[in-house]
């Protein structure tokens, strides 16, 4: 009897794992804050897949002048974990919403020593390939003059543009109204001259007749 090997040997069809796609992570570029204030460092990501229950966020920090980064926060398995030995152990709070792809953190009571670069990394399995994004934090005693000047210049430019638009609008209205008025006056003037001319033409025969009658007398 012939034995069919297909019933005796296991299937040789390879099992292909679910393909991962690139994940894009977003943070700010640079943030300014005052000593003693709080600041929110935002982190979000874009992925073609639905938000996974296994989504993770990781934050690391590298102080200005330091060579290495340290881990300060990690979110995994639905729970946030703050490093209990780092410089932010009592001043870092997770304020993100993983379901909305938000892994933001809040830093409290800032100090000069907090100046540095914060890096956020996110994974949305099976999308785990992506480049972490970094934001630089600058802590000042007061708002930098340069930032204030730039902000004032932007506000002044916007207000100046609005004033210019309003002036142009009313100027155009004035010119249009003046044009309409001149056309109206010109039109009425032509009508008046036409009436006077017709009256003169009608009065001329009478005048001639009157002169003739006077002469005959």
DSSP per-residue letters across 47-87: -SSPPPTT-EEEEEEEETT-SS-EEEEEEETTEEEE-SSST
> Which 8-state DSSP code applies to residue 129?
B
pLDDT at 189 over 70: no
Domain residue extents for the chain? 17-143, 144-190
pLDDT digits (tens, 9 = 90+) for 72-81: 999 999 999 9
What is the band of 16 on the pLDDT scale with cuts at 50, 70, 90? very low
Q: Regarding beta strands 30-34 and 133-140, do their DSSP bridges make them parallel or antiparallel, or are they unpaired?
A: parallel
Q: pTM of the full predicted structure?
A: 0.58
pLDDT digits (tens, 9 = 90+) for 28-52: 999 999 999 999 999 999 999 999 9
Average pLDDT rounded to a whole number, residues 17-36? 85
Fold of the CATH domain 17-143: Immunoglobulin-like (2.60.40)
State the greatest distance between any 2 C-alpha atoms of the chain, in Å, as a whole number: 159
pLDDT at 195 over 90: no
pLDDT digits (tens, 9 = 90+) for 99-152: 999 999 999 999 999 999 999 999 999 999 999 999 999 999 876 665 556 667
What is the band of 163 on the pLDDT scale with cuts at 50, 70, 90? confident
SS3 state at 30: strand
């Amino acid at each position: 009897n012939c034995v069919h090997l297909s019933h005796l040997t296991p299937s040789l069809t390879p099992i292909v794992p679910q393909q991962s796609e690139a994940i894009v992570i977003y943070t700010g570029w640079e943030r300014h804050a005052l000593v003693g204030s709080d600041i929110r460092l935002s982190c979000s990501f874009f992925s073609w897949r639905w938000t996974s229950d296994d989504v993770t966020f990781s934050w690391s920090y590298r102080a200005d002048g330091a060579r290495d980064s340290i881990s300060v926060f990690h979110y995994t398995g639905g729970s946030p974990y703050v490093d209990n030995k780092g410089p932010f152990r009592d001043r870092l709070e997770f304020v993100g919403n993983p379901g909305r792809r938000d892994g933001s953190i809040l830093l409290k009571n800032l100090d000069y020593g907090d100046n540095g670069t914060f890096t956020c990394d996110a994974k949305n399995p099976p999308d785990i390939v992506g480049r972490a994004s970094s934001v630089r934090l600058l802590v000042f005693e007061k708002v930098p003059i340069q930032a204030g000047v730039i902000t004032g210049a932007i506000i002044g430019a916007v207000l100046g543009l609005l004033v210019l638009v309003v002036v142009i609008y009313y100027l155009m209205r004035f010119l249009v109204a003046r044009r309409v008025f001149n056309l109206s006056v010109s039109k009425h003037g032509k009508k008046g001259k036409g009436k006077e001319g017709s009256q003169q033409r009608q009065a001329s025969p009478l005048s001639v007749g009157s002169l003739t009658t006077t002469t005959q007398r």
